[in-house]
Amino acid sequence: MNSDRRSVKVGSLFMGGDWPVSIQTMWKSPLPALETEKDIPIESLLAGIRKLESIGCQLLRFAVPDKVQAQALGMLSRRSPLPLVADIHFDWRLALQCMEYPIPKIRINPGNIGARWKVKEVVDKASDHGVALRIGVNSGSLPEDLRDADDIAEACVTAAEREIAYFDELGFTNVVVSLKLNDPADVERANRIFAVKYPQPLHLGVTEAGPLISGVVRNTAALVPLLKDKIGATIRVSLSDSMEAEVLAAREILACTGAAAKGVRIVSCPRCGRASFDTHAFLDRWSDRLYAIDVPVEIAVMGCVVNGPGEARRADLGITGAGDSVLIFRKGEIIAREKIAQADQAFEDALKELIAERQTKRE
How far is residue 123's CA from residue 101's CA, in Å, rounded to a whole number? 16
Residue closer to ligand SF4 by CB (options 217, 305) is 305
Residue closer to ligand SF4 by CB (options 175, 275) is 275
Q: Let me know: does 105 contact 131? Beta carbons within 8 Å.
A: yes
270 binds ligand SF4 (CB under 6 A): yes
Report the site for ligand SF4 in 117-136 (rule: CB under 6 A).
none
Could you tell me the smallest distance in angstroms from the CB atom of residue 202 to ligand SF4?
39
How far is residue 355's CA from residue 350's CA, in Å, rounded to a whole number? 9
In 3-state terms, what secondary structure has residue 264? strand
Q: Give the N- to C-terminal CA distance of the chain in Å, as an integer.
A: 38
Burial 240-275 (b: 16+ CB within 10 A, else e): ebebbbbbbbbbebbeebeeeebbbbbebbebeeeb
Could you tell me the smallest distance in angstroms from the CB atom of residue 315 to ligand SF4?
13
Q: Where are the beta strands (DSSP E) in the chain?
A: 7-10, 13-16, 22-26, 59-63, 84-88, 105-108, 132-138, 175-180, 202-204, 234-235, 264-268, 297-302, 317-322, 325-330, 333-339
Among 89, 203, 271, 330, interactor with ligand SF4 by CB under 6 A: 271
Contacts with ligand SF4 by CB under 6 A: the residue count is 12
Could you tell me the smallest distance in angstroms from the CB atom of residue 276 to ligand SF4?
8
Binding mask 278-317 for ligand SF4 (x = CB under 6 A): ------------------------xxx-xxx---------
Residue closer to ligand SF4 by CB (options 83, 321) is 321
CB closest to ligand SF4, residue no: 303
Residue closer to ligand SF4 by CB (options 267, 355) is 267
Report the site for ligand SF4 in 27-66 (rule: CB under 6 A).
none
Residue closer to ligand SF4 by CB (options 261, 272) is 272
Residue (of 171, 8, 179) closest to 109 by Cα position: 179
Q: Which residues bind ligand SF4 (CB under 6 A)?
A: 269-272, 274-275, 302-304, 306-308
